[in-house]
Structure 1
Amino acid sequence: MAAGCCGTKKQKLNNSTVTVSSCNGTSPAPTSGMINSCVVTTGGGMVALPEMCFFCFDVLYCHLYNLAPPKTPSFSNDAYPLFVTWKIGKDKRLRGCIGTFNAMNLQSGLREYAITSAFKDSRFSPITRDEFPKLSVSVSILRHFEDGDDYLDWEVGIHGIRIEFVNEKGNKRTATYLPEVASEQGWDRLQTIDSLLRKGGYKSAISGDVRRTIKLTRYQSEKITVTYQDYMNHWNNQRC
């Protein structure tokens, strides 16, 4: 099941105004080609690699110019939940972000979500050829899923969280933030939970009783980001 990211907008959280960010926040992306501070290296070493981002650029380029899909990449084809995020311009504005919590083989999953996030994020028009040289792309590999004891059983800057709750109409809803969002926005755990309830469509006043009904899953991620210039440098090196 695909999961989208929430667009940036102002929301009231118990009489305070905060900015609700995308799954990847609204702050500038980390230094290109580097793993960000949310990376987890336990449990078998690194999974996320720059080659995954280069592959996403390849997939998007071929799609934009109606070319044959790129050849099968050489990185691992193990199955993980994943997100692909496109940003644009020097200010790294969100241009598309969609992923899945279902484990997918990385090669087919990144091929699919590189396109889905670029063309099917309902908040944005499809990415165009003219925008291609202004893009950066991030791949987030999600790992180490654990059930939380309650809505506060997670750590800012370490865990992403996914919540399940029942809205005012009695319907079950879900919402998620990737691990970097809370720390980038300067939120504590309570602010993050309340923002996530709003993201999931909860419109009434948020009380302690409401928060205690939440089923929380925490997870960690590896995130790699490269820019168009990184991609071109890689492509030129491949030609040498």
Structure 2
Amino acid sequence: MDIDDKFTFGKYQGLTLRDVYQGNNKLDRNFVEQFLREKLSNDYSVSPASMIGELLSFEVSDTLIRATSIDKEPYRNYQRDIAYLFVYDSNFLRREAGNTFIGDFVGMKKDENGWDRVLICGGKPEYIAWCINTIEWFFVEPSALEELQTMPVFRFKEMEVMFKIEDIYTYRPIFISEPYQFPVSVLHKNSQKYDSLTEESQSYDNDFTSSADSNRDYFNAMTDGQLGDYGDFRGSSDDIDNWSGR
């Protein structure tokens, strides 16, 4: 797989190797909207913020969130509660309990041709490493891995939420940019896969070349040039045998 080749499998299908490794420092409105819906319907934590789905309904634009109170409590300030929904919690036990975290979430958006386009939050170089370690046939061009490691990876840090007016809040995702180096074990395994495939390809090419050379030698030996050059001959070995009376 090269740097601008697209994944044809898995949760990031349709994104290039570069897309998955690096991500970007923006969040699409559709992603924010889908994440909130998923978070509020599937979060089983016991924090006060987990109850917010029972209190509010949301509308999302590119920079604003409208949080309408379901219990008719007018214009209470939910700034901290909304911001808490976007906290990335890596605690294993809370993940196992079914929490939805923004760093793991994958959204979808229709492109101009009506196809689903994957939306992610920041880069996922660890996924590439996982593919190399886990999927037998998956490897990356070594030069592509080297190039990727020169690029910054965007990581989601937090969502800045500010009360604006009545039930409207501004939001701004904050990302950090950091380097990433694949573990030596991953680089080694990837090189082994690449070298193995290269050797198989060379072996196939050699076998093919050897077969072609044998056919040419047979043609020349049997026809002694009377049927012209081998490169111009369009028949088979049976045609040669028939011509020579064998």
| TMscore range, shorter length | under 0.3
- The structure showing larger relative contact order (alpha-carbon pairs under 8 Å, at least 6 residues apart) is 1
TM-score after normalising by structure 2: 0.23
Structure with more helix by fraction: 2
Choose 1 or 2 for highest CA Rg: 2
- The structure carrying a bigger strand percent of its residues is 1
Tell me the TM-score normalised to structure 1 length: 0.23
